[in-house]
Structure 1
Amino acid sequence: MHAAVVRSFECPPRFEEFPVPEPGAGRLPVEMIAAGLHPRVRSGADGTHYTSDGRLPLIPGVDGVGRLPDGQVVYFVADDEDPGTMAERTVLDPRRAVPLPDGADPVTVAAAMNPAMSSWVALRRRITFRAGGSILVLGATGNAGRMAVQVARHLGADRVVAAGRDPERLELLGGLGATDVVSLAGDQDEAYARLGEAAADVDVVIDYTWGAPTERALPALLTRRTDRSASLDWIQIGSMAGPEITLPSAVLRAANLRFMGSGQGSVTARGIVAELPSLMTELTRGTLTADAQPVPLADVEKAWTAPAEPGRRLVFTTSPG
């Protein structure tokens, strides 16, 4: 078969011949149809993801849409121990797979499930979020942040504050459910003062940035909260701006702040998979939308390093026989 193959963490994957994986116990063979190029996939391919074990060569891809031997088309999340999904064939654990509803577009599903899953699982599994609450999406201009705005509104948030730096992408978020949009570009003192004014009293922060933006956002919000004893759940999901922050101890004493992460490990695989059918339903209904750009898997090396269009997610496609 052919696959996207990573032989060095310093280079993008190349389209090469690779041995067809043999399904072991509890696995089924699957012919791939579509697999999304998510940030999680990129970090796995360059060896920087926290689950990376450093082994090469590897096939990237953490999820996708494929066809089972009986003809059923499914979306599935790959197990860490199984080959990646950016290949003509791979294997899957049927416990991590859900059928695509009739009429569902495989490319859209492959593009949207992973970025939507981060906020969907966070709000349904990591905290008890009640309709009528308010949410700040920090890093809302990425694909996952864009989906988080939609997910928050769908799950009943009365206010969704979307914050980010990209003006083109920020402009789109009002039409997707954001009630307030805050630019973090320009003078940083002014930017985070705007953020504090808009989001001081939110109930939840979904944080895709970490690093310097989080360091600035914390005091901007906490010093302006009307009631500092009101709980604030800060859910760390991504680290687009850096893997670490400096956290003054006074921040933890000065407000009712609860930090947590949401991702592999903090939520069980079973818990994540349990959320897939309901999320799939909303994507199929069009409640949540994504802009997918299909690219033949044979073009993986070129597409991997090409500039991405705002709001679009690349999806590598194959033609299963």
Structure 2
Amino acid sequence: MRAAVVRSFDQPPRYEHFATPVPSGGQVLVDVLAAGLHPRVRSGANGTHYTSDGRLPLVPGIDGVGRLPDGRRVYFVADDDVPGTMAEQALLDPRRSVPLPEDADPIVVAAAMNPAMSSWVALRKRISFRPGQSVLVLGATGNAGRMAVQIARRLGAAHVVAAGRDPGRLDLLTGLGATDVVSLAGDPQEAADRLGEAAADVDVVIDYTWGAPTELAIPALLTRRTERSAALDWIQIGSMAGPDITLPSFVLRAANLRIMGSGQGSLTAAGMIAELPALIEELSSGTLTAAALPLPLADVERAWTTPTEPGGRVVLTTSA
């Protein structure tokens, strides 16, 4: 079969022949229709993701839309120990797949499921989120952050603060459900102070930045909270600004801060998959919006560096 193949962590994948994977243990070989080029895919392809084992060559791609041998279309998440989904064919574990509605656009599903899943699962499975609560999305101008703003509102958030650096993308978020926007551009401490004033009393933080913005934001919020004993669930999902923070010990004693992660390992695969049908229904109905840029799998090298519009995602497609 043909696939996107990574032979060096320093180079983009190339469109090459690759051995067709052989099903075993209940797996099914499916024709891949579409696979999203997510940040998680990029980090896996350059060897920097925390799950990377350094082995090459590899086929990138963590999820996709495929056609089963009987013609049905499904969204599926690939197992960790099989070739990825950026190929003409891929292995599917039926337990990690969900059927698509007839009217579902496979390109939109491939583009949106991964970024949407991060906040959807975080709010539905990692905490007991209740309608009427308020949410801060830290890193809201990325694709996942943009989806998180929509999802928080869809799940009943009364107040959503969207924070990010890109002013053009920030301006778009009020139309997607943000009730307040905060710029993280400029002096970092001044940005943290703005964030503290706008979001001190939120109930949940969905954090895609980590690093310096989070390091400054945590004390900025906690020292301004009206009621410090009110629980603040800080859900760490991404680390766009850096992998580490220094956290002063006093913030853990002086407020009811609960820091947790949401991602591979913090939830069971079965628990995540159980949430996918409801999310697919939201995407199929148009409740959540996502922009996709479809490109042929054969153009994977060009796709790797192709810019997209705000909220957009490259999706590699096949002729299957």
Q: TM-score surpassing 0.5?
A: yes
Residue 311 of structure 1 and its aligned partner are, at CA, apart by 1.8
Instruction: Find the aligned partners of 2:189 and 2:257 in 1 and give their Cα distance.
Output: 22
Task: Tell me which residue corresponds to 1:49.
Answer: 49
1:42 & 1:69 partners in 2: Cα distance? 29
CA contact (8 A) 2:188 2:213 kept: no
169-178 vs 300-309, greater mean Cα deviation: 300-309
Aligned residue type for 1:239:
S
How far, CA to CA, are the matches of 1:172 and 1:94 in structure 2?
38
> How far apart, in 2, do the equivalents of 1:237 and 1:319 lie?
34
Q: Please name the residue that 2:155 is paired with.
A: 155
Shift of 1:25: 1.5
In the alignment, what sits opposite 1:19?
19
Gaps of 5+ in 2: none
TM-score by length of 1: 0.98
TM-score, length of structure 2 as denominator length: 0.99
Structure 2 counterparts to residues 115-194 of structure 1, below 5 A:
115-194=115-194
Which residue of the partner structure matches residue 86 of structure 1?
86
Question: Partners in 2 of 1:262 and 1:114 — Cα distance?
Answer: 13
**1:269 to partner: Cα distance:** 0.2
Q: CA deviation at 1:220?
A: 1.0
Alpha-carbon offset, residue 191 of structure 1: 1.8
What pairs up with 1:259-274 in 2 under 5 angstroms? 259-274=259-274
Q: How far off is 1:190 after superposition?
A: 2.4
What is the deviation of 1:307? Answer: 3.1
- Aligned residue for 1:267, secondary structure, equals coil
Does the Cα contact within 8 Å between 2:163 and 2:181 map onto a contact in 1?
yes
Q: Give, in angstroms, the shift of residue 19 of structure 1.
A: 1.0
C-alpha separation between the residues in 2 aligned to 1:5 and 1:190? 44
- Give 1:309 shift: 2.9
CA contact (8 A) 1:4 1:86 kept: yes
Pick which of 151-160 and 185-194 moved more. Answer: 185-194
SS of the aligned residue for 2:314 comes to strand
Instruction: Determine if contact 1:161/1:182 at 8 Å carries over to the other structure.
Output: yes
**Would you say 1:61 and 2:61 are equivalent positions?**
yes
Q: Give 1:186 deviation, angstroms.
A: 1.6
Question: Where do residues 213-232 of structure 1 align in structure 2 (5 Å cutoff)?
Answer: 213-232=213-232
Map 1:231-270 to 2 at 5 A.
231-270=231-270
Correspondence for 2:4: 4
Per-residue deviation, 1:306:
2.9
SS class of match (2:304): helix
Q: CA RMSD in A?
A: 0.8
1:302 equivalent in structure 2: 302
Question: Could you say which residue in structure 2 is the equivalent of 1:316?
Answer: 316
User: Does 1:28 find its partner at 2:28?
Assistant: yes
Q: CA deviation at 1:305?
A: 2.1
Indicate conservation of the 8 Å contact 2:293/2:308, yes or no: no
Cα distance in 2, alignment partners of residues 86 and 92 from structure 1: 13
Q: Is the 8 A contact 2:79 2:93 kept in 1?
A: yes
1:212-247 Cα offsets, whole Å, 9 max, x none, are: 010111111011000100000000000000111111
Deviations 1:152-188 (A, max 9, x none): 0000000000000001110110000000010111232
**1:78-127 C-alpha deviation (Å, 9 max, x unpaired):** 01012100000111001111111011100000000000000000001000
Per the alignment, residue 104 of structure 1 pairs with: 104
1:305 aligned counterpart, secondary structure: coil
Question: CA separation in 2, counterparts of 1:8 and 1:310?
Answer: 29
In 1, distance between residues paired with 2:233 and 2:293? Answer: 34
Give SS of 1:69's match: coil
The whole-number CA distance in structure 1 between the counterparts of 2:118 and 2:306 is 25
Encode CA deviations 1:183-215: one digit per residue, 9 max, x unaligned: 111232322211111100000000000000101
Decide whether the 8 Å contact of 1:82 with 1:92 is kept in 2. no
- Percent of residue pairs identical: 77
Structure 1, 99-108 or 302-311: larger mean CA deviation = 302-311
Cα distance in structure 1, aligned partners of 2:305 and 2:8 = 15
Greater mean alpha carbon deviation, residues 48-57 or residues 127-136: 48-57
For the residue of structure 2 that corresponds to 1:270, the secondary structure is: helix
SS at 2:160's partner residue?
strand
